Chain A
Amino acid sequence: MLKRLRDPWPDHRAELTLGAVSLLVGGVVVAMVAFVGVHAWPTFSHNGLSWLGSGGTLETQIANMQATGVKAPASAYHLRAWPLVYGTLLSTVAAVVLALGIAVLSSIFIVELAPARLRRIAVPVIRLLASVPSVIYGLIGVLVLVPFVGNDLITASQKASVQNVVELTGAGLIVTVAILTVMITPIMVALICEALVSVPNSWREGAIALGVNPVRAILAVTLRAARPAIVAATVLATARALGEAIMISMVSGSRSFTPKPIDGLLFLFEPLRTLASAIVDYHEGVGAPALGSTLYAWALVLLFSAFALSLAGYLIKLPLRRYQVRG
């Protein structure tokens, strides 16, 4: 037996072994959907589509689930998850829009504008930003930014004006979005820079020879050629922002409150909760059937959003491939 393994392998056996390994890896996704879906099913079957709606307070619904224990009656599954979905959408869209602008501008800076010496410093520094663990971002947020916003930016009269509705501690939308932006920008910068570098130099030179200034050439030619990469970067960054759990659970205030733009400036300071951070907040209760199923339902929504994002990125990039640009 051992001798058979030690001898040079025939090609077909190697192919089958490696293929089996790949199948195992591919099967993980199927298993993931199956396991999460099976666990999430009771919640969806009890609530139907109104699961996504609003109504009642999420915290009391969760407390109700925890109180029922091992044999949960059907009423325990009652849940309206809109505050979480809204919180996720709000923080993700805000962070991605901000990060997109910053990432495009700073990629232009790195590839086209920065002097070589500065570029040699900037690239590793920004790469470092991408690899800082999210718990460190959360720690800085909760120990530095949240007290700063809570004590210095929010005035006492602002706190008093809403004290019957929500308590403003500083943990909330603005800190969440700010840190989330810093976390996802480097990912976008990496992809966009790679694409900008691969745009043929002659295109840019051609534009400049036609009389436009370098910045206009970058905006009109180079950036346009890098569009597939910008789309890919946005998709990747959105997926990352959707799934960020630990950092948001630390700095968002963790209250299923829906910040309303109508509140004016206070909108920025109101607490929120996202799908991913709610899973972290309530993970202790996964043993209670109703709450456990609810957690898996949130995870299933995240999982399908991630699927949809990769699919959307692929579809958007298809027509752009015609221009024979890499992405």
Chain B
Amino acid sequence: MNAPERRNLLMTFEVTPTSHLLADFRARGGYAAVEKALRTMTPKEITEEVTASGIQGRGGANFSAGRKWGVINLSDGQPHYLCANADEGEPGTFKDRWILENAPHLLLESMLIAAYALQVRHAFIYIRGEFDLPYRRIAGALDEAYAAGYYGKPLFGTDFTCDLIVYRGAGSYVCGEASGLLSSLEGKRGYPRNRPPRLTVRGLYQRPTVVNNVETLSNIAGIIMDGTEAFKSFGTRKSPGTRLVSISGHINKPGVYEVEPGRPFREFIFDTCGGVPHGRKVKAIIPGGISTKVVTGEEVDRVRLDNEDLATVGSGMGSGGMVVIAEGTCMVRLLQVLLRFYHHESCGQCTPCREGMGWMHRIIDRIVAGEGRPEDIEQLKKISAWNDGNTICGMGDAAGYAALGILAKFGDEFEHYITHKRSRHDGNLECRAST
């Protein structure tokens, strides 16, 4: 591996059987940032620092974390809540899992800083129900942190105390949406809520609440410790810092990588991740979870790995869940898989997503069965467009993107399938040596 220099913010240590434990974390300088924050900074200064760092949310929407925090009025006399969104359910995305498994104390420390900045007495981690090891690791780390006095006790001579509750979800995709997550956390059905009001105005238990992605929060400790300039020296001007990217699919070295935005996409795929098995070409890549639009192999060659460049080809970094699709894969079957997922996971609250996803799934099933009609492609596009911007939550919007992206760039494969009643690529979803 020809990595010239480690340019990492999160993956700064070697993963060993003990690297997730408090002792190892302290040896790496852990819990120094929270001490610095509490001893030398006011809550307002921390929020300003985070805003100045320009860090964007890592959950997929890329909203400025500092601006989200800035909405919280510290002197409104209400309780505020902080919740880490560890309900990582976007297909293809498993980067938060790395943090929860290998650096749980980094999240816990960062959440302490965030809780102090937002004057939060009770913070929450909403963790996906299917996460077993991550849950055991974060719960174990929390026990250690309580025992060491970081949680539940006044810290560093201040009167600031924070309690943290780890809550396991039951595995719904929509509970990864911030407001659906809070509904679920309150013990209700995980239906997303209407905006306005924003969650920072009325969130958990109708109180101002900040919900941040695990990776976003985990960066806070570094920002406070090393300052905004150090953070901004990574990445691009608009996408500062690093991104954890989980890569899977037809790739030689799948896994979680920390990348600096601004790297050439192709270099990341072929140099870092070892390219596509059997020397195949890249047909397409879903760059940031299946709700971002697909990027073709040709586009991969010319764009850089950041939001601004990916936007020029109609996509984005999303949640960092990359799925590589090799030459010879049937895009019709692929879309069928994606639409089955959306149909299965649509919460059913609002009409466009509830009815639209089922309808699209039935259409694509019919196409795959060789009973497609020429007008089906238009109908799929129409239903996707009805969802866009017209649903209660962002996931409803995004549910249409997958189909819109694939249909726009691989529409000819669908026409071929409908006309010839069979796949151009034999319905292949795997990347085998021959064929």
B is bound to A: no
Chain B residues in the interface with A (C-beta under 8 A):
none
Chain A residues in the interface with B (C-beta under 8 A):
none
